[in-house]
Amino acid sequence: MAVSVYSTEHEIFRRSLRAFLAREVTPYYQDWEEAHLPDRNFWRKAGPEGFIGAALPEAYGGPGGDFLHHIIVAQELGACPGAETAGVLLQEDLPAFHIFNFGTEAQKNKWLPRVVSGETVLTVAMTEPHTGSDLAAIRTTAVRDGDEYVINGAKLYISGGLIADLAIVAVKTDPAAGAKGVSLFLVELDSPGITRGKPLKKMGMNAGDNAELFFDNLRVPSSAMLGREGGGFGVLMSELPRERLLIAVRSLGEAQRAFDLTVEFTRQRTAFGSRVIDFQNSQFVLASMKTDLAQGHAFLNQCIGQAMAGGLDNVRSAMAKLWITEMQGRVMDQCVQLHGGAGYMDEYQISKLYTAARVTRIYGGSSEIMRLSIARSI
């Protein structure tokens, strides 16, 4: 039998997070969907319980956990009914690590305790109306003026764009320098010079907000730069393996949940005098899905082990994101099919899982960008 990498303390954390999500997400996600916005109080409750920035050290207000706590958050979000439609919940861990790894002591002391407590909701704003995959092509500029920078431009699709208080914003400080001209700023989103658009209507994940942000002569102090001037691309790339792994972990959790729901549904549903699960077609489809899921779990466990040992590279994490999110898409599609018309109805979880899953092959680097990364290693 495989030895679990999770300690008793990890399992206690998992159980209390699972109970918290069942209490604070599942009863409310339909209200959030109507508003296209989650309740801001979710973060104020999650923070004091130690669920935000769980891997951050105590010196910055964190509970002092490790990367496995971070993985558990993704696993439990994947397993929680309703969380699939609220993609923005507990997504601070990665950007908080950008601040932890690249911030000045003053930035870390100012922001990390507030993020961990839930007082400050943090997001990342890179994508723009004309570019997403090609980050080096962003056009938002930051021009130095004395001890300040003046930011002009726009960002699109930003998760938490309406609810967040602070964003790590990617800009060009040297528009002629390509990737080497990209810098990052910690931007307080209620500053004068920022306008937030309306919540964007999406095919799924409507309990989470995505919005456009406009910067019109926004002034930020030079002390708000995260990392060095021109070093923004490197900061964002440094956390790519973890980001891709976390998307894969959550996606696998959602695929597993879709499978479990479908087994339950086909056991109950009858057609032509038989249970749907007893048709050979249903059994073959479920058998193939079960095999896919087992492969996903095995590969992810290997990647998690490598990440814990500090050896997870861009290529393997790209392989994990590519394969698992593509597999998730196949599984969701087959699960909807086995639900029949019910699978198309919002009142069945599978319908929301299906639409939420469509984005995992697009954001955090699309499947094509994953293939590019993998191909470069060949």
User: Where do contacts with ligand FAD occur on this chain (CB under 6 A)?
Assistant: 123-127, 131-133, 157-159, 205, 210, 359, 362-363, 366, 368-369, 372
CB-wise, 179 or 369, nearer to ligand FAD? Answer: 369
CA geometry: angle 15, 18, 22, nearest 5 deg: 140
Query: CB-wise, 285 or 357, nearer to ligand FAD?
Result: 357
Give the Cα separation of 274 and 93 in Å (integer).
48
Candidates 168, 159, 53, 155; CA nearest to 102 is 168
Angstrom distance (rounded) from CA 46 to CA 17: 9
Residue (80 or 370) nearer to ligand FAD, CB? 370
Question: Least distance (Å) from ligand FAD to the CB of residue 132?
Answer: 2
The pair of three-digit structure tokens given for residue 333, joined into one six-digit string: 């599609």
| Catalytic annotation present for 49 | no
Residue 88 Cβ, how far from ligand FAD at the closest point, in Å? Answer: 8
CB of 271 to ligand FAD, least distance (A): 36
Q: Distance between CA atoms of 60 and 116, rounded to whole angstroms?
A: 8
CB of 154 to ligand FAD, least distance (A): 12
Q: Which is nearer to ligand FAD, 140 or 210 (CB)?
A: 210
Quote the CA–CA distance of 266 and 351 in Å, as a whole number: 15
243, 264, 326, 347: the active-site residue: 243
Closest alpha carbon to 303 in 289, 290, 321 = 321
Residue 365 beta carbon to ligand FAD: minimum distance, rounded to whole angstroms: 6
DSSP state of 218: E
Distance of alpha carbon 118 from alpha carbon 51, whole angstroms: 9
Q: Of 193, 128, 127, 199, which Cα lies nearest the Cα of 162?
A: 199
Nearer CB in complex with ligand FAD: 166/289 = 166
Task: Measure the CA–CA gap between 86 and 33, rounded to whole angstroms.
Answer: 8
Which of the residues are catalytic? Answer: 243
